[in-house]
Structure 1
């Protein structure tokens, strides 16, 4: 398969100040809309937006699709581009997991399991489909085939297809829990507070999830989405195979840590990255770029015991010293209370030194505004943005 005909997303992308509760996660940052909670004229200082959509919104009934949210977003961006002579792009991230429609969660061939999180009252607790089942992946494949039929085609002269050029990247999100990452959840979310005494991972294991089933799902989801989209780039966040703390759900003695964590499996992470690299339209990414990964002269990027290594390295992308990657970051804009300098741009600069990163998904516009209205448009951030696009 040749590289996509659409341009790759480069520079800064905004993720949308939307809620994370079930039923509230769909949305996007609308360019041109005045919002006192976002930096002034923010759309002039970025290169695209992420369109977030819950699967339940896009397929309210089995096999019946409603893509109005995506159409509206692309048309809003198109209108803004034409009015301002710019070229903002878009990335689509469809949230599965607890955000899947009821006909998926209630499907007896798929099954679902209740999961709960430490963030009490955040509205994320709910039923999680058994994403490792072939029946689930078949439904996920059908969704992407329907999306691609509508939005993947090369842009034509007629108005209905001009929008397709704007949608340049699709997130791969089948094998997920809570977020769009490959990892299941942070350690703090796998806490034992259920009546059955199991963590989320423990209860999913009792429903049939195994390490090998998970590994298989990671590989299958990449090929499913990469094969569905011919002209559009696809991307996937690397695996966190070492994040299953206390996966058996047995509370350890106070002050001790169980040793039977889900294995780091470096060879498995490398194989998953290679599955992406073998598809010429696939970009590997990292959804948690933080200061700790760029300190100490970017040591994490060159340490094969660190998961971020498997994003930065080349592997099977022949003919290139590096292959394109993206990073998402929620790093705090300010280093600490005693530091008048900001660190967000420094973290991005460090990542650029250690990898061929082309695109950064920024912290929320609200977070940037709360720090300083002019930070995004300032010289330091805009210099980083321009360097990304080189």
Structure 2
């Protein structure tokens, strides 16, 4: 019995019944539809949509939203280029990009600032069961509308997030945020439950793959101390595969050619051991060190897709093409 099926049996769960769409594979533009010169050596692009724009009012998915427009663009491209179709990944950003009605519904939102980028905003109380119920309804609405759309191959689940769609990162250097988080009733145990609940929220999708971005978990103690907890990250990987089976795409959004140090080498080794489906987003172009070296690293880890950094067009299409081919060979 395969490992993920054995885990499902132990948990009393079953794999999704519907046939899964093929895995999203190849190189991806993580901001927009790739320019024609690059589209021929890429697999598609990422549709990044703030939750606030997608569901501005409870239960109302905005018409002609960014995903609708991307689907139309992909279909037009695919009709004109049937030998090299492009496919989509949907990343709905929660956290600071959540709708005002979500932020107001579960208690006053909390201010946070990213120490890396300076991005700032207010975050709903994501660790509460009521918030996660609203997030699960979002997935249910989106799945009902888009699960059967062939151009959409993958959707991100990231309900327990603050600034970016990386739910295991807690922006620990923003001490005011950590203080307010604890004062509002946050605990690491509630956060652990949230991390699992965001996986279950995505079970509304039956044919579309579901990706979750992993980092060494930043555990916040009751005293406000923030420490890395790789063991929880590894357990969450197992939970994702146990609950979603091969529908679960293990991801990381900060790959670079140089080792990041800390727990990252061990985390990547575990991802490789768990094997496909895997995907990565690179770090920014300034941080990758060497783009082609980073792409080779993704191939060697077993990834089927990589989201390219802004500025990737400094590398010629002919130089990117071999990596697109190699990534596709890793797809399952």
Alignment partner, residue 231 of structure 1: 207
Alignment partner, residue 340 of structure 1: none
Aligned counterparts of 1:266 and 1:333: Cα–Cα separation in 2? 26
Q: Deviations over 1:323-359 (max 9, x none)?
A: 32111102537987xxxxxx21112212322x22111
Residue 132 (structure 2) pairs with residue 137 (structure 1): yes
Per the TM alignment, residue 104 of structure 1 is displaced from its structure 2 partner at its CA by 0.5
Aligned counterparts of 2:63 and 2:238: Cα–Cα separation in 1? 32
Alignment partner, residue 280 of structure 2: 327
Match of 1:11 among 21, 26, 33: 26
Match of 2:113 among 93, 109, 116: 116
Whether the 8 Å CA contact 1:45–1:376 is kept in 2: the answer is no
- The number of aligned residues is 309
Higher relative helix content:
2
Alignment partner, residue 282 of structure 1: 248
Whether the 8 Å CA contact 2:28–2:307 is kept in 1: the answer is yes
Higher relative strand content:
2
Per the TM alignment, residue 294 of structure 1 is displaced from its structure 2 partner at its CA by 7.9
Alignment partner, residue 179 of structure 1: 164
Tell me the TM-score normalised to structure 2 length.
0.84
Gapped regions of structure 1 (runs ≥ 5): 17-28, 33-39, 154-163, 192-197, 250-259, 315-321, 337-342
Cα–Cα, structure 1 residues 333 and 97, in superposed 2: closer, same or farther, change >3 Å? closer
State which structure, 1 or 2, has the greater radius of gyration over its C-alpha atoms. Answer: 1
Give the secondary structure class of the aligned counterpart of 2:255. Answer: coil
Tell me the C-alpha RMSD between the 2 structures.
Answer: 2.6
Gapped regions of structure 2 (runs ≥ 5): 1-14
Whether the 8 Å CA contact 2:59–2:141 is kept in 1: the answer is no
Whether the 8 Å CA contact 1:333–1:344 is kept in 2: the answer is no
Aligned positions of 1:1-390 closer than 5 A: 1-2=15-16, 4-16=19-31, 29-31=32-34, 41-69=37-65, 70-85=67-82, 86-107=84-105, 109-118=106-115, 124-153=119-148, 164-185=149-170, 190-191=173-174, 198-225=175-202, 227-242=203-218, 260-262=225-227, 264-278=228-242, 279-280=244-245, 281-293=247-259, 301=265, 303=266, 307-314=267-274, 322-332=275-285, 343-353=290-300, 355-364=301-310, 367-369=311-313, 372=314, 375-379=315-319, 381-390=320-329
Tell me the TM-score normalised to structure 1 length.
0.73
Aligned counterparts of 2:108 and 2:186: Cα–Cα separation in 1? 12
Alignment partner, residue 194 of structure 1: none
Aligned counterparts of 1:185 and 1:376: Cα–Cα separation in 2? 37
